[in-house]
Structure 1
């Protein structure tokens, strides 16, 4: 409220009084308002809220938005947050006296139409959520190891020693039996792949028609209305369009001394035939025309969308017309809906910048021509240490968003219409529709827990590519064997899972055989890691540090990589939910 000044504070106070006067019988909260008026309960939003304190000592300590990830923005790589760090933050919050915690977001989605917010968020609001857009009274104790790198051994006196991994919090029932540790996440991870539309070969069979925007009158300075000042775009268009043309005209004359001057009486040396057109803009992109000719296009990069547009122009003794914004082309084609019930996406990688509709439904803005930065991404992510939105990133050097969700409720059984509104050019012949399915699945579990594995859509596990019970390393899709493992773990899992839609594995030496690990430090690595296929085949490939599973899609499915081998899947190995 501080940025709103005294008027803003007065308004918030009025809102609080109005809310309490309704006598609804339940408390009211205000998130991220440290000076929220009483009796409002101020709450915390953020990646961590263990140090948060309500402004009233009698108010409960509540975490209304635990950010499970971060939003995608044009020109930025994909942010990810590990499940280990998320669970660590939750345990730390309750250890510090928290009473309520809520995940934001728990289910990702798409902001269709013009509903995506700022700063310059993509149409996809996946948010690295646990679900993506396609789907006691007992005495307990907390043991926290806040060290970022070093594991610790804690003396429990009569109950012996307890091993605490780095950057983790353990919950002990009866203060001696571990029932949960934030670094020991036992879960299945699904890796999404795209499969071609089996009804038709979109990229070859889509027949496009196009219609350019009529610019003759616009470039000549003929507009809908006039004003004596620059006007704000969103207010003028009522925020129903991304596009607004700004047009102005002026005349250059020579004075008696041979210098140029405009109608305002400003003298311009005649020797400076080459001038600079300068425009201060807070918009994301600007196109400039002088005398009906495009002089330059420019857009903000690296998340910086306030920029100064500059372009050299030549002015002669005559009347001149300056027109600012964009030239656009409308493209139209028809297509058949992909078979099956899997979610549908359209691949827009070959286009430039614009907006797209399916059967009149706005799918959102596309801008694949702007790429995320080349550095800052890694195939692995260490959950230990303070989390930030740029800590674990992927998709560097690629479009911020390539795939656009088309809900099946938008599609017809017969012919469907796709319309593109393109600003800066592109290649519509490469646009195609695909379906989204689970191509791989990995599992991770620790000794003493149960790992549950399942396929979607009634499919069955047909093979196990890899399983390791011991101290495997790596992450989903990048497993590798450790220094020790059970000799019978793989065969045991194959017998328990192959041919079934789901299976449950008790991660113990009694079930999987001796892991051959010794010492308290290595016990934290004992577990299971598998791989399972959501298609007709399931192949396991590599191990990881606790156990897990990994699956591949059937032949013909995209493996989530482009021709260069760069990952392009919508979910990544860092998504260990």
Structure 2
């Protein structure tokens, strides 16, 4: 079973149909098999969408699947942005131009190793709101989101001449039902149905589906939606479970087939062998099972978009790179896994598989001189008006979503002993009178250090939000900053806390700042460099500690010497012939760097954990 992937040219005027009917996916009255790969428009600059989509098609796919990230579209309360990298309609139209169907996964919850699972951070500030449940304030917010999304893309469904063939109702809800047994199953089911009905009410009229592990279908299935299995490698089990929840018939689809896996800071980079992926793909092809690779192309968590898992550690922050060991690399390259799967697809499909498109040019930048440094304490903070409170406030209370907050308190009297910061969310560097005295890290459960504060001394705690939890029952517990009292020797420290907001939501302006530098203090490095040609490259961060990098105003994301990621992907479309600028916010600053360079290949698998 196959389809012609060239149906979606602009000159093709015929109205097409797509149905879930008689146990099959039916396109223009004929049964088909869906061969899909997942790619998220938000994880690659829009200038590269077409190249990545052509890569997906060149691997033999006829469909691209994408999540929609609510918090990527609503950038501040009531502020909606559907332009540039956020122009989801353009992404879908580009997929159509390339010759791909589109499967849409609009959430509102998406997981995806993305900040807060796609939810806007400020939902936590709405009185009486509880996310992902039958809660009216939450449903009202979802309604607004779905209305704005529908206005952009409902006319891009196949029922209106577009390429969207299916829409997901909620996302992996069965696992949440299993984790939240404190909520009655009936209430869970009413909530999921309410989300589907809201999508229908706003004009989504193609077939709906759900995506869960097959053993979670009971909690995750939604009336009127085809249940699809995530990660199910046993074809018989898939068919049995789908039949049980879909009137005794198919079609059968593995909605997430994992050719790679996700990665966290401080943990080994996960690699998945090509042979097993190829064998499993062939099993699906032989048995008429549709599938979607999650991910076929991962991309990058630019800026502060990476989330965190809630696993064995209190939190597992996700890498900036979302390479995922996918068949198409973070920079859009064909990998050996890609080549193997492309060769397999050629044996099974009757439609034409096009040539592999050219990759983007790659360059190396030998040396960028960093000719200005501005100390955070002696420069940046002096120009920020602090928020003063008797106790530390959370990021949310400060109306700040991302970045950093400096918590500062002056002590009239000397105090020493154990500083206890159990409410740390998520990473902190601690200073006394401007001298670094320790590091606290929620990820490794390090919440205490010994401290000695003289009389008339200042305590500084620089706290970083490492990404809100995107998966699991604690998704509602996602406040950032310092969320419980600061204690020293069991005593709560109150009175005149000064909080300096450092959201880094735009590139730092150092034009009016004098150069300053104190070893060990957080610092912003700045430099400029000229290029005769532009291309993709990878900043070498192996000699740096922890921080973020801006190139020409673009936040490339977080780096951290613990690894396994030691480079930052820099898209060539963000570079310019001639002058370019770089700013690096280095938190740890244990070594002064006067230059930085880039390399032509990424380093994503080198751990550098501190010695115990």
Normalised TM-score (structure 1): 0.50
Question: Rg: which structure is higher?
Answer: 1
- Kindly indicate which of the two structures has a greater share of residues assigned to strand: 1
| Structure 2 length-normalised TM | 0.47
